[in-house]
Structure 1
Amino acid sequence: MAGAPSNYWGQGFSPRGEKNRFVLPADFRATVKDASQGQRLLCLDRHHKFPCLTGFGLSRVETFPARIAREEEMAFKRGEDFDPDTRAAQLYGFLRASFDESGRFILPDHLAEQARVSDALYFHGGGEFFTIWSPEVLFEMDSGWDSAKATCRALLAEAAQKGKRK
């Protein structure tokens, strides 16, 4: 499909732009494109635990069968029920959004609503995927997210300064 899974690190910020588009930061753009076999294709989904979205390239899909098997084995060891069909539907239910050379993409309303997105996105590297946050939602997170919150505030302030110069 798309080669070895990719790793994402770093941060980025995008205000909502004209035509209701956001910009995938350059640090993530190249990795997503490489992970999607040279296609400008961003995979988006709601995070399974946090009130944010995840982004990744197609290569991550190759890890899904092993992930499902591992989760099923762990559930069995804990004596918990596990439905591999439900888990597969959750993992493979992501949306594919194209982006242009500048990284501009449209975030579908149903995903924006799930993550309470308003006028900006904060991108945060997370290994095999990156998280995409509404800054307001990120600021509500516990102290484990203090570093991400500080970075988001700095990028938000930087964007506001750029906006004043225009």
Structure 2
Amino acid sequence: MAGMFIGEHTFKVDGKGRVSIPADFRRELEEGDPLASQSGRPRMVIVYGHDAQKQLQVYTYNDYRALAAEISALPRGSDRRKIMQSLILNKARPTEVDSDGRLVLPQALRDKIGLEGTAYFGGMGETFEIWKPEVFEAQNASVTSKLIEEQGEGFDPLSLLSEMEG
């Protein structure tokens, strides 16, 4: 598994769908692609998923291959495997960083998430996500509001880890 994608960044998207990839994210993508040191252009896989998915999930090349192997290990013909194949393997697009450190997002992917002039990059640990900034802000506000309602205003987000252990 590659390192960690953390933090948030916002970059302009030009008319051809080119958007800079945050420098620290590029380093993680390089670590996650064994051929990146030779080519200088790390590969990645963008998962655009089901129709209601509002963001693009970006995996390093190695992490996506590992995920594909996990899916292949599921029982053939099982509903779980069929769903994962349909939403993770079928709804994905391999690409690479261009020579200027940018990602070229095809029009179909930009249209899917309503991306126009600006892209929000959110580090999610082993992946990062690309959102239309306004959609991310609304989604984040909704999640935060729900957490505060459930946990109280002074809750510590790290307390959610201990809930999972129990």
Normalised by the shorter chain, which TM-score bucket? 0.5 to 0.7
Find out whether 1:92 has 2:89 as its counterpart. yes
What residue in structure 2 maps to residue 116 of structure 1? 114
Once superposed, what is the RMSD of the aligned Cα atoms?
A: 2.6
What residue in structure 2 maps to residue 143 of structure 1? 142
Any unmatched runs of 5+ in structure 1?
73-80, 147-166
What residue in structure 1 maps to residue 46 of structure 2? 44
What residue in structure 2 maps to residue 66 of structure 1? 70
What residue in structure 2 maps to residue 10 of structure 1? 7
Q: 1:92 to 1:22 in 2, by over 3 A?
A: same
Any unmatched runs of 5+ in structure 2?
146-166
Following superposition, the deviation at residue 45 of structure 1 comes to: 1.7
- What are the Cα deviations for residues 74-123 of structure 1, in whole angstroms up to 9, with x where unaligned? xxxxxxx7241342232223112222243212101111111111111111
1:139 is paired with a residue of what secondary structure? Answer: helix
Following superposition, the deviation at residue 68 of structure 1 comes to: 6.5
* Matched residues, number: 134
8 Å contact 1:54–1:132 — kept in the other structure?
yes
Name whichever of 27-36 and 94-103 sits farther off.
Answer: 94-103
TM, length-normalised to structure 1: 0.67
Aligned match for 1:104, one of 102, 105, 129: 102
Name whichever of 47-56 and 114-123 sits farther off.
Answer: 47-56
8 Å contact 1:10–1:27 — kept in the other structure?
no
TM, length-normalised to structure 2: 0.67
Following superposition, the deviation at residue 134 of structure 1 comes to: 0.5
% identity of equivalent residues:
22
What residue in structure 2 maps to residue 164 of structure 1? none
Instruction: Provide the C-alpha distance between the structure 2 equivalents of 1:45 and 1:65, rounded to a whole number of angstroms.
Output: 16
Displaced runs of 4 or more, over 2 A: 4-7, 17-20, 47-50, 63-70, 142-146
